[in-house]
Amino acid sequence: MNEENQIERWYQSNIDQYQKLLNQQQGKSNLLSNLRLGVFVFFITLSGISIYFESWDWLAASLVLWGICFGLLINRHNAVKARITHYDLLSSINQQELKKLSLELHQFADGRVYINSEHPYCVDLDLFGPHSLFQWINRTVTKGGEELLASNFLNASPVEELKKRQAAIQELASKATWSQNLLASGMAFKRNDQGINDFLDWVRIPITLPSWSHTAPLILPVVAIGLSIAYLSGLMAGYWALCALIINGYVLSKVQDLAKHTYDQTHRSIQTLQSYEAMIAQIEDSEFENSLLMELKVPFIDKQERASHTIRQLKELLSRIEVRHNGFYWIINPFLLLDIIYLKQARNWKLRHGDHVLKWFEALNYYEMLVSIGLTARSQPDFTYPVLVDQHFHLEVKGIGHPLIRTDERVCNDFSITNEGTVVVLTGSNMSGKSTFLRTIGINVVLARLGAPVCADKMQVGEFQMFSSMRTTDSLEQHVSSFYAELERINQLIRLLEQGKPTFFLLDELLKGTNSHDRNLGSTALIRQLGKSSAFGLVSTHDLALGSLADSYDNVKNYSFNSQMMEGRINFDYILQPGICNSFNAAELMAQMGIDLKYHQRND
């Protein structure tokens, strides 16, 4: 708790510091606004005096000087505004960290778009949705970074990669200020990156221009402008200039569709490119000790020109193409053939850099994912990095708790399960903590597979695929009962086991949708079947008879959660204990809810 208070004070100190810097910059901004107004009024007055006295030299000098002074003030003001935005974002980032620290997660994106009901464990472990792991960890700026993080929630990486990732996350956790600056740099320009996929499609497809596109922009604009000047000077009839413009219009019509397609595919990505440029520039200027972080940096700097500079060139080009929707563009386009000029520049850019764009984006997205996990680790100094072992059927934890339960409410337990075919039967009364314990185990396995620290004093975890069945519900639309939905889920597990891959399973309240006789029959058969497969895991149940399987099968182990009646109230300690549950509370809960159990023995 003391470490948590230190982290909270650190975030609050950051907020105070950035608010102070923000106020300082705001004062500078106000001063520069007044200076701009003063300079404007002064030179307007000076110009008026010059005109009054017909001093045209003074007028010209004052206009030039005004342009220089005003331009310098605008540049300085824009720099101050950028710092205001940056400090404001840094303050906001630290405020969000305090929210995440206290598990107030409702304001953060919940990633429900990534929920996959067919996934082996996605739905059951609160990875996405309200009060989810995604809300707690995600700090990514770009859509690509978010998608990569979500993908790693659902797909385990090889152990060797996770070991490298752990080391990278530890370094970034120690560089929290650097990480926050990286996020703020990207957030300053982030608006909507829905168009980034269209942009990437555009980058992949080469631009094919007619052979005459090389010479046309060199000759035709000169002819059109020259004939127009000759007409305006009275040296030539106007129809010659008109003919030149008609020819130019015909030439432009040949690339009209290509120019429009380029605009449509790229104009929504300009803000996102600014975000990528800012974050990549910070990475390029940074030094890392970790080999993975250095490896990820290589694509940005392995060319003669830095990736951030190259992206800026493209951003500026696309900004010029974006002006295509402006009416003035269509006035000068027939004269200068801007469509062809910009298409040639875009084609040349793609030929030189197109093959590198995807590598840059993927590397940045990976940095975003690591930064998200690193900042999460920074906020949880009492979490520990799991030991990733080469054994498949191995899971050992000390002091494991649920990361999305407040520290003052969290109860931690020790647990170990090893060996192929081991089945732990977990019994317990209602609300005693069975389901929460299964989710605690599962969500910490997900954290371990991210390369993140886990909510435990110690954790050793092997390499296996995970499967859970906890939240099976009926579907009126699909005409499926909750019992049949659970059977389908179990069938999914059986088909997974037929592949022969080591599997860790978490099954909650087996066959709860049928009668007690059939439930016991089916549960007993499934536990025996699981014990003979390439799997190990936990099965929670109210059926005490399943605990007796441990008397006949060495691979079946019993654990339980118990409750006590204290002064007419049910007390839960949520402490995992070996053996079968010896306390039950359903009758007491029913009585507290108004069910008169005396009617059970009456005949009237």
What superfamily in CATH does domain 387-601 come from? Answer: P-loop containing nucleotide triphosphate hydrolases (3.40.50.300)
Q: Could you tell me the pLDDT band of residue 479, with boundaries at 50, 70 and 90?
A: very low
pLDDT at 463 exceeding the cut of 80: yes
pLDDT at 570 exceeding the cut of 80: no
Q: What pTM, to 2 d.p., does this model score? A: 0.88
Residue range 496-513, pLDDT digits in tens = 999 989 999 999 988 776
Which pLDDT value is given to residue 482? 74
pLDDT at 66 exceeding the cut of 50: yes
> Using CA atoms, how far apart are residues 265 and 273, in angstroms rounded to an integer?
13
pLDDT at 83 exceeding the cut of 50: yes
> Using CA atoms, how far apart are residues 407 and 405, in angstroms rounded to an integer?
6
For 593, the token pair is: 């809810």
Mean pLDDT lowest among 71-75, 136-140, 517-521: 517-521
> Using CA atoms, how far apart are residues 60 and 72, in angstroms rounded to an integer?
19
Q: Could you tell me the pLDDT band of residue 289, with boundaries at 50, 70 and 90?
A: very high
Please provide the DSSP assignment of 192-211 as one string. Answer: --TTHHHHHHHHHSPP---G
DSSP β-bridge partners for residue 416? 396
* CA 484-490-491 angle, 5° bins: 90
DSSP β-bridge partners for residue 458? 398
* Among 266, 275, 274, residue whose Cα is nearest residue 142: 275
> Using CA atoms, how far apart are residues 331 and 348, in angstroms rounded to an integer?
26
Q: Long-range contacts: 219-227, Cβ < 8 Å, 24+? A: 220/244, 220/247, 220/248, 220/251, 220/337, 221/248, 221/335, 221/336, 221/337, 224/248, 224/334, 224/335, 225/335
pLDDT at 42 exceeding the cut of 90: no
Each domain of the chain, given as residue ranges in start order, spans 1-102, 186-209+255-379, 387-601
* Residue range 319-334: mean pLDDT, rounded: 85
- Asked if 307 contacts 360 with a C-beta cutoff of 8 angstroms, the reply is yes
Percentage of the chain lying above the pLDDT 70 cut: 92
pLDDT at 51 exceeding the cut of 90: no
Residue range 179-225, pLDDT digits in tens = 999 999 999 886 566 678 888 888 888 888 988 888 999 999 999 99
Residue range 338-390, pLDDT digits in tens = 999 999 999 999 988 888 999 999 999 999 999 999 999 999 999 999 999 98
pLDDT at 477 exceeding the cut of 50: no
* Residue whose token pair is 């221009």: 209
Tally of helices (H runs) and strands (E runs) in the chain: 19, 12
Q: Long-range contacts: 560-564, Cβ < 8 Å, 24+? A: 560/426, 560/427, 560/428, 561/426, 561/427, 561/428, 561/429, 561/432, 561/433, 561/434, 561/437, 562/428, 562/429, 562/432, 563/428, 563/429, 563/431, 563/432
What HEC string does 398-467 produce? EEECCCCCCCCCCCCEEEEEECCCCEEEEEECCCCCHHHHHHHHHHHHHHHHHCCCECCCEEEECCCEEE
pLDDT at 559 exceeding the cut of 70: yes
Q: Output the CA torsion 194→197→201→203 (10° steps).
A: 90
Instruction: Tell me the CA distances in angstroms from 588 to 273, 507, 569, 594, 600, one per residue in order.
Output: 62, 26, 9, 10, 14
Phi/psi of residue 569, nearest 5 degrees: -120, 150
Higher-pLDDT residue of 359 and 428 is 359
Beta carbons within 8 Å of 122's beta carbon, 6+ residues apart:
114, 115, 116, 128, 153, 154
> Using CA atoms, how far apart are residues 391 and 566, in angstroms rounded to an integer?
44
Residue range 224-239, pLDDT digits in tens = 999 998 888 888 888 8
pLDDT at 54 exceeding the cut of 80: no
What is the C-alpha R_g of the chain?
33
Beta carbons within 8 Å of 60's beta carbon, 6+ residues apart:
none
> Using CA atoms, how far apart are residues 197 and 220, in angstroms rounded to an integer?
36
Mean pLDDT lowest among 371-375, 384-388, 448-452, 538-542: 538-542
DSSP β-bridge partners for residue 471? none
CA 519 remoteness from chain centre:
42
CA 544 remoteness from chain centre:
44
> Using CA atoms, how far apart are residues 373 and 513, in angstroms rounded to an integer?
39
Residue range 92-130, pLDDT digits in tens = 999 999 999 999 999 999 999 999 989 999 999 999 999
CA 80 remoteness from chain centre:
29
> Using CA atoms, how far apart are residues 604 and 586, in angstroms rounded to an integer?
24
